[in-house]
Structure 1
Amino acid sequence: MADPQSLDRPNLARRGLMFILSSPSGTGKTTIARRLLREDAEIAMSVSVTTRPPRHGEVDGHDYYFVDDTKFREMADGGELIEWAQVFGNNYGTPKSHIKAGLKEGRDFLFDIDWQGTQQLYQRMETDVVRVFLLPPSIGELEDRLRGRGTDSDEVIAGRMARAQHEISHWDGYDYVVVNDDIDACFKKVKTILEAERMRRARQTGLVDFTRGLMRD
């Protein structure tokens, strides 16, 4: 049942935001992102364009927008992508029109991208971007988490650890930095950041008319 008091609360229009989560592999970013999407109906995962072939069960337009190399190059050259990068031989990018329309309608988008993609998004959409970086409690703990998965060889883990050191060096390019030493506590902090950023005066586009109405009452 709805809170009776909530019926009198104003539903102010606001501009959406682009909520970025970045972290080294094994820090818990995927767990945090999935929980955020599951528990917060106002945010959705940004759907990227990619030249990677669909994997079993993936749906075009839901998991990714699947295109060939020629189409991707046309989109990149035509300014249709906010950011794009090549990862393991495949191109990935963020479609501009879909994101801009959603932001105007007050929708929030979650991005799981690295520091390079974060820089590109921030350079082009600065006021709409919120950057959050997750850190492990220690390098030893990070390695233990990676080994605990039981899916990677020693060589792969060594590569991930080297990449992690590089990614951690870019921590100061983010608005918020959260140490994930407890997954529940970390999630609460990330959720608090999201809720606070939604309340920024500049994003609450309905405040002008609302406050004018208050002053007339």
Structure 2
Amino acid sequence: MTARSRLTVLAGPTAVGKGTVAAYVREHHPEVWLSVSVTTRRPRPGEVDGVHYHFVDDATFDVMAARGDLLEWAVVHGRAKYGTPRAPVEEILDAGRPALLEIDLQGARQVRRTMPEALFVFLSPPGWDELVRRLVGRGTEDEEERAARLETARVELAAAEEFDVTVVNDDVRRAAEELVSWMGTPVPAPKRD
């Protein structure tokens, strides 16, 4: 019988490059299973339903949350809902495969309550100015959305100490390889107050 694997949770502020690092892992480490989140936000250019996200309407999302079909879920930036379907995660962990969730801070906190044995990795930018440059440079949000995301990012950056490990995303390949290397190590002892 295969031993159950440990979940790895990757979180960090908006525009830090969580999706880019996760895409690198998907391409270069096929042994790592990446969860596909459900969201109520509209697809960005190039995003494919079922690959990048499962795009659903509010009513469908609300039914999933009410039934307990989501491992975690949250309203992000005061706008769209995001969540992680529970069943696929449980199936992959039971099969003994390494599994990665790329989620926001609120979701990571929920997963910590339900799966404290998971490894929690905080993806950090090399600095605030670089984070702002990345958010503005991707050009996918209007001015109002950027302002909301940057306000959220300030709060999210302060939460790094809640995580087991911090990986600085100064280079996507290096950060992704460091993340994957942590996935094969024992869970650090929980931080105590």
User: TM-score normalised by the shorter chain: which range applies?
Assistant: 0.7 to 0.9
From 162, 168, 172, the counterpart of 1:183:
172
Counterpart in 2 of 1:207? none
Give identity over the alignment, percent.
Answer: 38
Counterpart in 2 of 1:102? 92
CA distance in 1 between partners of 2:125 and 2:47 (Å) = 32
Counterpart in 1 of 2:25? 36
Q: TM-score scaled by structure 2?
A: 0.77
CA distance in 1 between partners of 2:135 and 2:59 (Å) = 37
Counterpart in 1 of 2:153? 164
Deviation at 1:17, TM superposition (A): 2.7
CA distance in 2 between partners of 1:68 and 1:160 (Å) = 22
CA distance in 2 between partners of 1:186 and 1:70 (Å) = 37
Counterpart in 2 of 1:203? none
Deviations along 1:115-159, one digit per CA (max 9) or x if unpaired, are 1100111111222x2211111222123223334445555554443
Identify if the C-alpha distance between structure 1 residues 91 and 135 changes in structure 2 by more than 3 Å, giving closer, same or farther. closer
Q: TM-score scaled by structure 1?
A: 0.70
1:36-115, aligned counterparts within 5 Å? 36-52=25-41, 58-59=48-49, 61-65=50-54, 67-87=56-76, 89-115=79-105
Aligned residues: 185
Q: Which runs of 5+ in 2 are unaligned?
A: 188-193
> Which of the pair is proportionally richer in helix?
1
Identify if the C-alpha distance between structure 1 residues 172 and 147 changes in structure 2 by more than 3 Å, giving closer, same or farther. same
